[in-house]
Amino acid sequence: MLLALAWKNIWRNKKRSGIIVAAITFGLWGGLFSSAIMVGMTESMVETAISRNLSHIQIHKVDYDQNRDIRNFLPDGPRILSEIEDFGGVSAAEGRTLVVGMAASASSSYGVNITGIIPEDSKKITDIYSKIVEGSYFGTDKRNQIIIGTKLAERLNLKLNHKIILSFQDLQGGIAYIACRIVGFFKTNSSQFDEANVFVLQKDLFRILSTAPIVHEIAIRVQNIEKLDMVMASLRSAFPDLQIESWKDLAPELAYLSQNANIYMYLFVGIILFALLFGITNTMLMSVVDRIRELGVLIAIGMKKSKVFSMIVLETVFLSLTGGLLGIAIGMISIAYYGDTGIDLTAISVSLESFGASAILYPILPVAMYLVLTVMIILAANIAALLPAWKATHLVPSEAIRTY
């Protein structure tokens, strides 16, 4: 009976209850959708960085991050690469030859990272091949092919099939030069990456350097991201003299964002609920004030104050859950729709590219968030009910009946 009475009471003033329900609904919908956008952007930044060049795991010589000299390559790198390709939990691996040098055109020059790759192996690790916007991804057998970013092409005023001169230190400490023909332009979600990286064939680098195959970096994709730590532990056990790092070690800022995205999400929605709490409390206080005579009569004819307290709490919970569940439902529908179709942010793509985010954003929200949010709404409702319920239970029946 108390449940039915509480439900009827909240709709005695439909306009007032409707306003607070609408406020809760749209407040929570906005909080959920904003949180989903934040989580989606974080996931997009992590996934695009991994697919662009980071990979799940990278292996270098121990001191490579302090000394990126061309002579600081992995000892017996091709053999290590061959062993890793057959390693348990490893989906694919590629050996990269890394050189820091200068790229020059007829009009300008710019410092770049030169990466020597085997295209067939690289396709298994990165998605650069799918980012070609003009030309091809090493589509011919000609020597000295190169693909560069559109941003670098703009800086150096280069077109497809133009020549670009690369200069870098050789293995003897001298300067080596190679004239390359541009066969393709790529465009990723990071303008900084596009401006500072070029890709050439390993065999062309080895020919210019007059060396047997050398590997500075082994990039690895794992079969299951959930087992990343297990694969890392196995690799470190098998190769204790090498520096083995996951994407979290290589990009700690992205790892921080990924690990704390859920915390920020709960905090953001919590702040919204905290703000709504004052509106709910005010609405329930007004409801109690409007019914002081009625509550006084109920207490006078023998209704226990504990039941009056429970009735006010139930009214507040029902009011909050009505708006809350509506907000969650609208949020779920919106997130599911845009999670499938994406939100086109092409208008601000230049800004997004500056920190490596995609121009098409897919909102994501963990299922657990909906369950936690329901509990948070109930807790907030109970807190909001304390003051109105306290006021109702501290009425003096004789005064309440006479005065109001």
Identify any residues that bridge with 219 across adjacent strands, giving them in sequence order. Answer: 58, 94
List pLDDT tens digits, range 309-351: 888 888 888 888 888 889 989 999 999 998 888 887 776 666 6
Cα within 13 Å of Cα(255), Cβ side? 10
Cβ–Cβ < 8 Å for 312, 295:
no
Residue 49: what pLDDT?
A: 87
Helix runs in 11-62, H state only:
14-49
**Residues of the chain predicted below pLDDT 50:** none
- Tokens 């400490």 sit at which residue? 173
Residue 158: what pLDDT?
A: 92
Give domain limits for the chain.
2-50+254-403, 63-240
Residue 270: what pLDDT?
A: 86
Residue 14: what pLDDT?
A: 86
List pLDDT tens digits, range 263-278: 888 888 888 888 888 8
Residue 352: what pLDDT?
A: 63
**Percent share of the chain, pLDDT over 70:** 96
C-alpha 358, offset from chain centre: 11
Residue 350: what pLDDT?
A: 63
Identify any residues that bridge with 95 across adjacent strands, giving them in sequence order. Answer: 218
Q: How far apart are the first and last CA of the chain?
A: 26
List pLDDT tens digits, range 55-69: 999 999 988 888 888
Indicate the residue type of 319. L
Residue 217: what pLDDT?
A: 94
Measure the CA–CA gap between 50 and 53, rounded to whole angstroms: 6
Residue 168: what pLDDT?
A: 93
Residue (of 242, 246, 245) closest to 75 by Cα position:
242
Residue (of 374, 381, 390) closest to 276 by Cα position:
381
